Amino acid sequence: MEQCDISSSSSILSLFIVLLLFCPSNNGVEAGKVTAIIVFGDSSVDAGNNNYIPTLARSNFEPYGRDFEGGKPTGRFCNGRISPDFMSEAFGLKPVVPAYLDPTYSIKDFATGVCFASAGSGYDNATSDVMSVIPLWKEVEYFKEYKEKLISFLGEEKAMETINEALYVVSIGTNDFLENYFAGPRRSAHFTIDEYQYLLISIAQNFLMDIYQLGARKVSMAGLPPMGCLPLERATNLKSKNACKEDYNKLALDFSEKIKNLVTKLRSLLVGFRPVFSNAYDPILEAIQKPEVFGLETVEVGCCGTGIYEMGVLCHADNSLSCTDATKYVFWDAFHGTETLNQIVTDYLLKTSLAEFIGES
């Protein structure tokens, strides 16, 4: 799918607003109960879709999932549950949100929550190409397919109520910088870092408009984490004695501010649209800087293996160096948080950006 430049994206948005004014939709329903959790994004929220595509970006093997119910790896890049699972439970739905491509689930299971996310993906199609994973546009295509299945299963009225009142959880963007822009010349040779950010924002805008047209109303758009503090980034920051890469953290804040501004703009322009900006940066940084507040002890490295570079296939059950108690760690592997961190972040978001939806459950 071709990705638009910023100027054409703005023109599309202007035309879209005009059409809304002349063709009012009956999808701008009154606020009601959160009916489902619908997830788009990358490995921070992938419930196991990558298990079913030909890619190395997988985690459906031990020790991943060792603290999940039954001690089984699910494809989540974590020792246990991830944020959408905790959100689902908090909104009175199921304790886990299943992966759309998992054949053991059906539309009956997906009626209260479904995950389209793919580890290694990004806003930019070129990012998903790095590890041959599901691009964001394809995640939206899966959502369209899901919507049709839901209409067949529930009937149009009930299905549209579910679609309109669901909470859409979007967590994506880190890979665009760490696995794409800073990892090779494909984008960095053609865009300054500021230009690349605006390219990503234009893609994010088109994505939000797409899911709005399909019926999404309540959307949580996550900003970036303090990606300079990921164990893998610390490990390569030798000249600063493995401290956090502050330039990466500043970039995360800058990009997150742009996402926040986009959310504010679209919320004011699109009838019935209620996107919120979810700040994941602050709770993660607090856990890193003040681990004792949360009963945590280790922040510089992950639990799996040495915790310095292992993730995905490098994080395997035969590694005798893995920690015994992941509840004391901020990070599970060199790139992803533990179940404990996911719970901390979710609790923070439920009290902040998601608070306006709590009373509707």
Residues in Cβ contact with 351 at an 8 Å cutoff, skipping those fewer than 6 apart: none
Question: Strands 113-115 and 218-222: what pairing?
Answer: unpaired
Surface-to-core class of residue 210, CB atoms within 10 Å of its CB (0-12 exposed, 13-18 middle, 19+ buried): middle
Annotated catalytic residue 190: no
Catalytic annotation on 336? Answer: yes
CB atoms within 10 A of CB 232: 20
Which position among 118, 202, 336, 353 bears the catalytic label? 336
The CA-CA-CA angle for residues 338, 233, 203, to 5°, reads 85
DSSP code at position 149: H
Query: What is the 8-class DSSP label of residue 167?
Result: E
Residue 333: active-site member: yes
Given the residues 46, 124, 333, 353, the one annotated as active site = 333
Of residues 83, 75, 120, the one with CA closest to residue 99? 75
Return the beta strands (E) in 35-151 as ranges. 37-41, 113-115
Residue in the block written with tokens 């054949």: 103
Strand order in the sheet with 274-278: 113-115, 37-41, 167-171, 218-222, 274-278
Active-site residue identified among 9, 42, 43, 85: 43
Q: Which residues pair with 37 in a beta bridge?
A: 113, 167
Structure tokens, 336: 């992803």
Query: Annotated catalytic sites, by residue?
Result: 43, 333, 336
